[in-house]
């Protein structure tokens, strides 16, 4: 019988490899609210891929909450998410996230997250996501663009955590960039840019960056009453424990900007939650923050 296989092939068949295409997360969502009578109601909703929007029940008389959810469970190199949110004239709405977003180790490319928001005249828009946690080797590139019309109010929060301190994690290498642009009636009123790439542990240990802190938070408020909140936020800062971190606040030209660095995720929350409540005139935080 003729031999079916030849063990003396002139090359090593085991050395033949086929490049593996890694599966990447893609997701996009849009969510808009409008005023119907005296009540804010959902106007538009679109979701695709791994990006979902949930609309939980809220107490009567309170702003609706749109909860964003990445069903992929996290981000890694090559992933891309985009979200568009709109609050029409006179309406109020909160955009938040179901849990902390996690950026995992990348094989080389960036995970990209783009957010675009708009708010009509006499509206109130709150962007209150939970923390973003960066793991060692992660690469995350984000953009945040907001268009305000007339006297629309914006409250925006972001907290970035470099590794889970409770797990003893350290982010040695990685890249993170975050670009904020806020416009009112087409005019740029706030711009913020951050980029860190390389040995993040060394970069963040410097006095000019985080001085060894593991989390950083920003709370930005744009509204004609911004200055009236300044002293109250300063009083909150004075009551913070120095062991948890340091914070500062400024207000000018209808804007208030609060920044803090903290020892970890829990400490950052301890610092930003009372500030957010103050800027919301005592209204509670999104329900998912307590779960």
Domain annotation covers residue 122? yes
- Can you list the pairs that 224-227 forms with residues at least 24 positions away whose Cβ atoms lie under 8 Å? 224/151, 224/254, 226/251, 226/254, 226/255, 226/256, 227/251, 227/252, 227/254, 227/256
**What's the pLDDT tens digit per position in 158-217?**
999 998 776 767 888 999 999 999 999 999 999 999 999 999 989 989 988 888 899 999
Domain annotation covers residue 63? no
Answer yes or no: is pLDDT of 13 > 80.
no
* Residue 30: per-residue pLDDT: 98
* Residue 290: per-residue pLDDT: 84
What's the pLDDT band for 5 if we cut at 50, 70, 90? very low
How many domains would you assign to the chain? 1
**What's the pLDDT tens digit per position in 14-57?**
454 554 456 688 999 999 999 999 999 999 999 999 999 999 99
Domain annotation covers residue 126? yes
Range of lowest pLDDT (165-169, 197-201, 243-247, 258-262): 165-169
**What's the pLDDT tens digit per position in 67-79?**
999 999 899 999 9
What is the pTM assigned to this prediction? 0.90
Residues with Cβ within 8 Å of 245's Cβ and at least 6 positions away in sequence, in order, are 213, 215, 260, 261, 262, 263, 267, 268, 271
The residue among 116, 151, 170, 157 whose CA lies nearest residue 224 is 151
Domain annotation covers residue 103? yes
* Residue 3: per-residue pLDDT: 47
Answer yes or no: is pLDDT of 85 > 90.
yes
User: 159 is in which domain, residue-wise?
Assistant: 89-290
Domain annotation covers residue 75? no
Structure tokens at 87: 């609050």
Sign of CA dihedral 167, 171, 175, 176: positive
Average pLDDT value over all residues in the chain: 91
Domain annotation covers residue 7? no
Domain annotation covers residue 59? no
Domain annotation covers residue 224? yes
Q: What is the mean pLDDT of residues 230-257?
A: 95
Tell which wins on pLDDT, 241 or 261: 261
């Amino acid at each position: 019988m003729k031999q079916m296989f030849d063990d003396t092939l002139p090359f090593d068949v085991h050395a033949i490899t086929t490049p593996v295409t890694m599966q990447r997360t893609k997701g996009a969502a849009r969510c808009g609210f409008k005023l119907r009578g005296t009540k804010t109601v959902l106007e538009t909703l679109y979701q695709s891929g791994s990006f979902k929007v949930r609309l939980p029940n809220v107490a009567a008389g309170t702003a609706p909450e749109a909860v964003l959810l990445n069903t992929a469970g996290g981000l890694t190199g090559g992933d891309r998410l985009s979200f568009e949110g709109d609050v029409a004239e006179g309406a109020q709405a909160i955009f938040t996230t179901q849990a902390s977003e996690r950026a995992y180790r990348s094989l080389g490319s960036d995970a990209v997250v783009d957010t675009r928001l708009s708010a009509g005249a006499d509206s109130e828009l709150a962007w209150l996501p939970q923390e973003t946690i960066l793991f060692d080797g992660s690469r995350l590139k984000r953009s945040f663009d907001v268009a305000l019309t007339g006297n629309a109010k914006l409250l925006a929060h972001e907290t970035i955590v470099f590794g889970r301190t409770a797990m003893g994690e350290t982010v040695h290498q990685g890249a993170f960039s975050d670009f904020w642009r806020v416009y009112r009636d087409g005019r740029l009123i706030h711009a913020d840019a951050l980029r860190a790439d390389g040995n993040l542990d060394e970069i963040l240990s410097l006095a000019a960056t985080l001085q060894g802190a593991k989390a950083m938070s920003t709370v930005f408020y744009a509204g004609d009453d911004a200055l009236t909140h300044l002293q109250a936020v300063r009083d909150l800062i004075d009551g913070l424990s120095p062991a948890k971190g340091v914070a500062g606040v400024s207000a000018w030209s209808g804007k208030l900007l609060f920044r803090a660095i903290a020892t970890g995720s829990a400490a950052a929350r301890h610092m930003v939650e009372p500030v957010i409540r103050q800027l919301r005139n005592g209204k509670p935080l999104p329900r998912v923050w307590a779960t």
